[in-house]
Structure 1
Amino acid sequence: MPLRRGRLFIVALMALFTAGAAVSMRAATAVHMRSEYLDPIDVANAGAMLGAVLGAAFAGFAITLLLVSAVLAKIGFRNALLAAAALLIIGFAVVAGAGSLGISPYTGLWVGMLIQGLGWGMVETVINPLTSAIYAEDRVSRLSILHAWYPAGLVGGALMGLAVDGAGVPWRLELAVLAVLCLAFAALAWVENFPPVSASTDAPVTPGEMIKATIQSPTIFLWVILMMFTAAAEFAPGQWVDVALSQIVGMRGIWLLVYVSALMFVMRHFAGPMVRLLGNIGLLIVSAIFATIGLFALSVVDGPLGAILASTAWGFGVCFFWPTMLATVAERYPRSGTMVFGLMGAAGAACTWVVLPTLGRISDAAKLAAAGGDPAVVASAQGAELQQILAAAAEASFRSIAVIPLVLIFIFTAIKIADRMRQKS
């Protein structure tokens, strides 16, 4: 069967759409998981527990990327996509039955999220080198179009969660819909012919050569660290926005995620012109500036209009982070092959895994401080008192995460200056 790159790209888009829908599903159902499972366990520390549960998906994501990327050539694109679908479906099933597995519901949720993360990581392991392989002549633009379907999935999953809540049916129903999407992209992958994994770079190399090239290029690890920062600025607020803002800004926080994701879906289709205008590093500098403004603004909003304006700035800021970072390292370190994709993705996910529970602890501590140090007040607060407590928690959470893109502004600017000096010499 001939290689049909248009259909292969559709498979990649569907897989990433499904993974994105699963991410926003976690954000949309976080309030249900907290009230149904975590508040009864320990209301004073429910935020930290919820952060750990949500972060477990990013841990699984990081594990898969780190372990599978270097051996993807042995596994092959098709087998990896089939494994991704299976892991996602198993993870959905475990989360759906977290309260009836004979273990702590917290543990059940954590394990289910971890398995989902393994499947999500398998999707990410495949789609980036697959797109690089089939569109070697236009990688930045195609990677940005590909990653536009991640926010499209976020929109789909969030709207699904809102519809389920509005209909008054069990929140677990959307997990079944996501499982059907997994079966769909797996079925398409089963019948297509895939290129060799080695075609994903301009300098095809073996796994051993990838490892050697990576070790011999220590500056790669600077980009790995930077990926931690950019991913945390994008993913952590997206998972936290519904929990933190729903009772403060006069609307469900998940609507902000829908809006930002739709914005990202449109804007990522214009990454090519943006890169030609600003260059990769210039685009990263501009992105960091807007992300900083947006996150600081989200820490103080108290109404729908302010929340939308702040989200616009944050969304524009984080829109190009992930695809631009991947394209940049692929261009700078071609002999690191798929391993560099794995390192970057794993680093970003691992940092988010750490940041989410930290946000939970910051939120819990701010709530307790606003309640005068009395956990009973946190548990029983209502009306204006509750609003004050929640506002303090949101301010502390978003202000702490805003420091990350602020630091990135200076680092990316330094890289831009260093690149120009290198070109002149």
Structure 2
Amino acid sequence: MEQQLSDAQKKQLFWACFLSLMAAGVGFAYRVMVLGDWGTEFNLTGGEMGRIFGASLWPIAVMMILFSLVVDFVGYKRSMYLAFFFQATSAVLTCLAKSPTELYWAALCAGLGHGIIEAVINPVCATLYTTQKSKMLNILHASWPAGLVAGGTVMILCKDISWQLNALWILVPVLAYGIMFIKATFPVDERVAAKVPYSVMLKDVGFLSSSIAAFLLFYELTNVFTGTPPNVFVALGVGLAIGAVFGFITKSFGKPLYFILCLLMIPLATTELGTDAWIKQLMTPVMGEYAAWAIVLSAFIMMILRFQAGILTSRFSPPTILVISSFFSMMGLIALSQVDGWMVFAAFVLYAVGQTFYWPTVLGLASEQYPEGGALSLNTVSAIGLLSVGIIGGPIIGIFNDNHTTNNIKEVSTEVYEASKVEKEFFGASYEATDAKKATELAESVGKSDEVIAATTKAGRQSLMTVALAFPCVMMVCFGIIGFWYKSKGGYKPRVLEATWE
């Protein structure tokens, strides 16, 4: 039963939530566009730039999980005021920054604010529209690509303005949603309204899913604060230990299907976010100096389609939508790995269509099937996806690229291969990579420069083919099995808690 807010109150609250996530998207687009300028002005290394940029990312998942545990006690409005403070502070600090340290703190504030926003707006949307969760969560999350479109477009058009002044653009949506939240009326969370005990909320996550979240959080935070990733077996042990304690306290092993959704967020997040790093490189031969617009185009497609999510959700269940999305993204990645010329543009659009409905549809599925889990079950699955991209997905794509590069160079010249190969390790497993600098220098000395460059370029496309087969193909099968399982149970049916008004 949907809570009795007026239509005007619902719309004001929904669009305030929309603007808050859009503000995070504008900030993200800004940092992507100016990161190189920061490196030039402050003479930063790649590692230093990565540390600053990473400060805007890792706090998102931490705050999502933390606030999911306390948001019902703190309150939605107070939480959003805190998010407003962090985002506004981030914009002002960036504008006034005169050192990399100040940029780091500005990025950290952005990440903290973004995490709180996600922790609040997802359960608020699910509570406002208890019978339309998948549809409205898709529309709500059109705000992220809307922020990328707005931020990316402004940064490209205002490239002659200093990065300090351009930071003030972030304040526009921040101030807008801050004003809207002043008079906004928040509903009581669906779980709280139905008087589902806090202890029951924790049971959906239980031992299984809390172990994954704890493992990823420990791994990421150890890497952030020590500069060195922990031994994977130590991280796994810590994760299992924390999960065991959580499971003992909650007296719950966790819901198996929810655990599967958490696992599937790893390939899903990698497909949606991890492969975006290749977009500009692939589109450069087609769009030349305008290749930066490829990111804006991808976001624009995603934004428009998410606004039309009701067309899909009225006809298909969330598992079926995820199967369709997996198919389109798989075909798009395969096409990107094969075609040339303007066909790359068509393949790119196909890929963008495929990744559009992934994230919010999984949120809708988790919210519709595990409403007792409240904010925690809704946000934990998303946090696991965010953490897994940097810890697992991104490095795996890099390994794919290293493997293809090494094999291609070996075919070109055994001499270059032997001299430039290096041993690397990922999660305790060793693999071969190529020292690009050595390979380039030796290739020049043996007259194989063009061949080595071609081998490296080819490896990028081969990696996309591998990603297509490793991730969306697997997801298509898994979500298909989930869909058939629901069909065997009489069909997919969202679960709605009976609310009691306060």
The Cα of 1:337 is off from its aligned counterpart by 1.0
The Cα of 1:222 is off from its aligned counterpart by 1.1
**Deviations for 1:163-217, whole angstroms, at most 9, x for unmatched residues?**
122xx22334332210332122122212322222x23688453433211343244
Q: Please list, as runs of the form range in 1=range in 2, the aligned pairs for 1:15-414 lying within 5 A after superposition.
A: 15-33=20-38, 41=45, 46=46, 54-92=53-91, 100-101=99-100, 112-165=106-159, 168-196=160-188, 198-199=189-190, 203-215=194-206, 216=252, 217-219=254-256, 220-242=258-280, 244-245=281-282, 247-251=284-288, 252-300=290-338, 302-303=340-341, 305-354=342-391, 355-356=393-394, 359=397, 372=416, 373=420, 374-375=436-437, 388=454, 391-392=457-458, 394-395=460-461, 398-402=464-468, 403-414=470-481
Distance (Å, rounded) in 1 between the aligned partners of 2:259 and 2:453: 43
The question of whether the paired residues in 1 share the 8 Å contact of 2:134 and 2:318 is answered with no
The question of whether the paired residues in 2 share the 8 Å contact of 1:200 and 1:337 is answered with yes
Change (3 A) 1:157 1:14: same
**Deviations for 1:368-413, whole angstroms, at most 9, x for unmatched residues?**
986954516769x999789747734633654454322121111112
Distance (Å, rounded) in 2 between the aligned partners of 1:174 and 1:53: 18
The question of whether the paired residues in 2 share the 8 Å contact of 1:52 and 1:353 is answered with no
Q: How high is the sequence identity, in percent, across the aligned residues?
A: 25
Change (3 A) 1:18 1:69: same
Q: CA RMSD in A?
A: 3.5
Distance (Å, rounded) in 2 between the aligned partners of 1:421 and 1:34: 56
Aligned-partner SS, 2:162: coil
Q: Please list, as runs of the form range in 1=range in 2, the aligned pairs for 1:7-22 lying within 5 A after superposition.
A: 7-22=12-27
What is residue 423 of structure 1 aligned with on the other side? Answer: 490
The Cα of 1:270 is off from its aligned counterpart by 2.4
Aligned-partner SS, 1:278: coil
**Deviations for 1:18-73, whole angstroms, at most 9, x for unmatched residues?**
122223333333444566667x63xxxx4x77666555433211111111112111
Change (3 A) 1:306 1:151: same
Q: Which has the larger radius of gyration?
A: 2
Corresponding letter in the other structure for 2:177 = F
Distance (Å, rounded) in 1 between the aligned partners of 2:438 and 2:156: 31
Corresponding letter in the other structure for 2:320 = G
Corresponding letter in the other structure for 1:272 = G
Aligned-partner SS, 2:349: helix
Distance (Å, rounded) in 2 between the aligned partners of 1:257 and 1:393: 22
Change (3 A) 1:394 1:128: same
The question of whether the paired residues in 2 share the 8 Å contact of 1:144 and 1:269 is answered with yes
Distance (Å, rounded) in 2 between the aligned partners of 1:238 and 1:21: 17
Change (3 A) 1:175 1:401: farther
Change (3 A) 1:401 1:28: farther
The more displaced of 358-367 and 321-330 is: 358-367
The question of whether the paired residues in 2 share the 8 Å contact of 1:130 and 1:200 is answered with no
The more displaced of 73-82 and 229-238 is: 229-238
Aligned-partner SS, 2:472: helix
Corresponding letter in the other structure for 1:81 = M
Distance (Å, rounded) in 1 between the aligned partners of 2:371 and 2:305: 27
Change (3 A) 1:56 1:118: same
Which structure 2 segments of 5+ residues have no match?
207-251, 421-435, 492-502
Provide the TM-score with structure 1 as the length reference: 0.82
Distance (Å, rounded) in 1 between the aligned partners of 2:450 and 2:279: 20
Corresponding letter in the other structure for 1:23 = F
Aligned-partner SS, 2:314: helix
Higher RCO (CA-CA < 8 Å; seq separation 6+): 1
Comparing both structures, which one devotes a greater share of its residues to helix? 1
Distance (Å, rounded) in 1 between the aligned partners of 2:109 and 2:123: 22
Change (3 A) 1:311 1:279: same
Number of residue pairs the alignment of both structures matches: 407
The more displaced of 178-187 and 325-334 is: 178-187
The more displaced of 178-187 and 117-126 is: 178-187
Change (3 A) 1:59 1:200: same
What is residue 6 of structure 1 aligned with on the other side? Answer: 11
Distance (Å, rounded) in 2 between the aligned partners of 1:171 and 1:366: 37
Change (3 A) 1:400 1:52: farther
Aligned-partner SS, 1:136: coil
Distance (Å, rounded) in 1 between the aligned partners of 2:193 and 2:473: 34
Distance (Å, rounded) in 1 between the aligned partners of 2:81 and 2:170: 15
Change (3 A) 1:340 1:164: same
Aligned-partner SS, 2:317: helix
The question of whether the paired residues in 1 share the 8 Å contact of 2:327 and 2:476 is answered with yes
Change (3 A) 1:332 1:199: closer
